Amino acid sequence: MSGDRGRLRERPTSGAPDAPTTRSGRSPAQSWAAIRLVAGLELRQRIRTSRWYLVLAVWVIAVYGVVLLGWFATSESTSDERGVVLYSMTTFVVLGFGLLVVPALTATSINGDRDRGVLATLQVTQLGPAELVLGKLLAAWALAGLFLLVAAPVYVFTLVTGAVGPLRALGALLVLAVCLAVFCAVGLACSAWTARTVSSVVLTYLAVAGLGLVTVILFGLLLPRTAVETDRQVWTMTDDQGQRCVLQTQRREDLHTERVWWLLAPNPFVVVADAAPALPANENQTAFDPLQAISTGVRLARIGPAEGALDECWSELPVLREGEAVEDATRVAQAGPVWPLGLGALVLLGVGSTAVAIRRTRTPVHRLPRDVRIA
């Protein structure tokens, strides 16, 4: 006790009124202890009050139900194919359900505390707004991590069967974890922004749904607007004499996806799919990998329509064709990954949301939203 008292005494308690004073003079160790304290408080509160084990049980049933369905659906496949399918499905199920469950962890975190009258009692302590918000974020993220952990055995299985390399499995888990943290941060910002818990829940789900669905819908709606008519060289089969592949000039509509592809970039599904390293090229690989498909699609969308002649003879014959369009696979490789941009956008969103939440938890309060009582 004496040590703490001594430290308290060092601070000027009645110094000159206008002397510059430290707003946050806290060491990183003190701040980290404070963040841990808030996180521990949040976790204890949540684990003891809410029906979290019910939610977790539902989560386990949902994830493994889908995995089981996938297992039966691939009963005819090789173990490699099965591994790929299970890996992709699990990743999507975890992300999809995470999109539904995780925002609820933080959507009423700050305004709920204010409603219960416990926020102000913490605000009058040495805890700063950043420590409060980061503590809450850490607690929510830890719970979200629990949901992620539930799915981990599936990844282990795909690793064991050798269908998916360790890098790919780990990459998916990491990117998933970052996405979940971003959802948590969005919920925190909404709960700090609005006074009523109902509003913040709706707002959080709108924001998260906006990322997952609205980006795709917008992309789909804007796609026809990118169409441009151009003359294209096309290798095509002639009708008259049959079976001859000739080069013709045709009027074609090109979709300039490179103008709207960025709408897809911050979509969490796209980020997760594109971040997972591609499967090793395997001649016998015939299993449909949805992650790979999304990744290829977005990368192609990014570079837009192919230049050069189009091959519409689709013949396997080794006919010499001048100026032939480059193969998709080569073009995808040239396009480069989309996920760093998408993940960057998501992280930016998460950091921005956290900053908003911190700003709105700062005291003394200058402007109060309508109907908010501080205590």
Partner 1 sequence: MSVSTVRGAHAADPTPGLEAHDLSRAFGDVRALDHVDLVVPRGGVTALVGPNGCGKTSLMLVLASLLSPDTGHVRVLGVDPAKDPRGVRRLLGWMPDGFGTFEALTVREVLRTMAGAHGLGAGAARPRVEELLHTLRLDPLADRPARVLSRGQKQRLGLAQAMVHSPQVLVLDEPASGLDPRSRLELRDTVRALAAGGVTVLVSSHILDELEEMCDRAVVMDAGRVVASHDLTAAPALLRWRVGSLDVEALRAVLAARGIEATDVPSPDGDWGRRGALDVDVADEADAHALLRLLVDHDVPVFTFGPATTGGRLEAMYLSATREERS
What are the residues binding partner 1 (CB under 8 A)?
1, 3-5, 8, 11-15, 17-18, 21-25, 30, 33-34, 37-38, 41, 44-45, 48-49, 116-118, 120-128, 363-366, 368, 370, 374-375
DSSP state of 135: H
Q: Which two tokens stand for residue 101?
A: 């469950």
Give the CA distances from residue 119 to residues 126, 214, 282, in Å, rounded to whole numbers and listed in that order: 13, 34, 57
Taking the complex as a whole, the smallest distance from the CB of residue 168 to partner 1 amounts, in Å, to 40
Name the pairing type of β-strands 245-255 and 227-237: antiparallel
Q: Answer yes or no: are the C-beta atoms of 187 and 204 closer than 8 Å.
A: yes
Taking the complex as a whole, the smallest distance from the CB of residue 375 to partner 1 amounts, in Å, to 4
Nearer to partner 1, 49 or 241 (CB): 49
With residue 245 as reference, give the H or E element that holds it.
Answer: strand 245-255
Q: Answer yes or no: are the C-beta atoms of 267 and 218 closer than 8 Å.
A: no
The total of other beta-carbon atoms located within 10 Å of residue 310's CB is 18
Cα–Cα distance, 18 to 104 (Å, whole number): 44
Question: 227 forms bridges with which residues in the sheet?
Answer: 255
The total of other beta-carbon atoms located within 10 Å of residue 90's CB is 25
Nearer to partner 1, 126 or 284 (CB): 126
Taking the complex as a whole, the smallest distance from the CB of residue 228 to partner 1 amounts, in Å, to 55
Nearer to partner 1, 127 or 325 (CB): 127
Contacts of 115 (CB under 8 A, 6+ apart): 197
Reference 251, options 268, 228, 273; nearest CA is: 228
Nearer to partner 1, 115 or 254 (CB): 115
Taking the complex as a whole, the smallest distance from the CB of residue 104 to partner 1 amounts, in Å, to 18
DSSP secondary structure string for all residues of 155-172: HHHHHHTTSS-HHHHHHH
End-to-end CA distance of the chain: 30
Nearer to partner 1, 295 or 361 (CB): 361
Taking the complex as a whole, the smallest distance from the CB of residue 192 to partner 1 amounts, in Å, to 15
Taking the complex as a whole, the smallest distance from the CB of residue 374 to partner 1 amounts, in Å, to 5
Taking the complex as a whole, the smallest distance from the CB of residue 328 to partner 1 amounts, in Å, to 56
Nearer to partner 1, 50 or 249 (CB): 50
Taking the complex as a whole, the smallest distance from the CB of residue 359 to partner 1 amounts, in Å, to 14
Nearer to partner 1, 23 or 251 (CB): 23
Contacts of 202 (CB under 8 A, 6+ apart): none
Nearer to partner 1, 132 or 148 (CB): 132
Taking the complex as a whole, the smallest distance from the CB of residue 19 to partner 1 amounts, in Å, to 8
Distance of CA 132 to the CA centre of its chain: 24
Nearer to partner 1, 108 or 233 (CB): 108
Give the CA distances from residue 297 to residues 274, 276, 287, 301, 330, in Å, rounded to whole numbers and listed in that order: 10, 14, 17, 6, 13
